[in-house]
Amino acid sequence: MDKRLHVSDYRSVARQKPILHSPWRKTLLVVGFGLLALLMIGIAGLTWGALVYANLRTSPTLPWCLPAIIIVLWLTWQYLGGKGPPHSTATKRKLLLRANLVSAQAFAWSALAGALAIGALAGVWIVCVRVIRMPPNPLLPGNFASTPLLVACIIVGASLVAPIVEESAVRGYLQTTLEREFRPATAVMLSSFIFAVAHVTQGLSLPKLTIYFLVGVTFGTLAFLNDSILPVIPVHIAADLVFFIFVWPHDATRELIWHAGTDGWFWFHIVQAVGFTVLSLLAPKQMHRLTSKNNALAQIV
């Protein structure tokens, strides 16, 4: 008998509901897998930081840190997806990563929903910076790198490390576990809280962490609707690139409206935040219809 599991088998196992779990057990799972997710993100961040530091110290004109972190990410992805020892945990690791293939149509709707959400969240961020004093992101590459090539490589590297590791850790290992113990909305909220906690390194600011929580809700919803993190990773990469290039570098120059007053750009970003939010809420409904249809077809087959 073939002991390998098909993708549909992984999905059915991942959605299996436990018969009875005590509140204490659920709490321990949230704390345990939450800490695991934070540890995974922390190790990846320290590894990337060490590579960037070594690159700056040894050869600042030759950005070797980018290919180095790509190799690290590939090895990490392979292990989290079930490759390597111990073989006794291979199936469990593959299930928790939730890197399931999705249809081209679902992938396209995810990209559209993600792009609209990025537009909304960028608008929300800029409006918050104009209304509430939020400390600028201290980890911008331009703050510690001099050559344009190295800055570009660091931006690309950071926009690969965070999406791949955070989606694997938070929407993969953590949220997949939570969805077996809680209602989907609760699982998404809990994973989004952990996602926000993981970003305290960018400033202990409640408005800033609230936006990261909303980002987590967006990505968590996409992962749940697709039963996969694969469509979420490109959206996460695009979001990081947009913020690294177009949003965060200008935060230090944005003046509070209480000091400088409102201007056309301020109202433009309000319309941007509201308009894109409304549009981004429509796409998941279509995705839900698609996934419901696919699940029904899978049961027939």
Q: Convert the pLDDT of each residue in 160-211 to its tens digit.
A: 999 999 999 999 999 999 999 999 999 999 999 999 999 998 888 899 999 9
Look at residue 287 and tell me whether its pLDDT is greater than 70: no
Look at residue 81 and tell me whether its pLDDT is greater than 80: yes
- Which residue range is the domain that position 66 belongs to? 8-300
Q: pLDDT tens-digit profile of 2-20? A: 444 444 444 444 455 544 4
- Domain membership of residue 3 (yes or no) is no
283 pLDDT tier (thresholds 50, 70, 90): confident
Cβ-in-10-Å burial (0-12, 13-18, 19+) of 280 comes to buried
Look at residue 147 and tell me whether its pLDDT is greater than 90: no
- Domain membership of residue 91 (yes or no) is yes
Looking at per-residue confidence, does 139 or 47 come out higher?
47
Q: Quote the crossing angle between the two packed helices 206-226 and 264-300, to the nearest 10°.
A: 30
Look at residue 156 and tell me whether its pLDDT is greater than 60: yes
Average pLDDT score over the chain: 88
Q: pLDDT tens-digit profile of 208-242? A: 999 999 999 999 999 999 999 999 999 999 999 99
Mean pLDDT, to the nearest integer, of 118-141? 89
Q: Does the CA dihedral 54-49-52-79 come out positive or negative? A: positive
Predicted model pTM: 0.88
Number of domains in the chain: 1
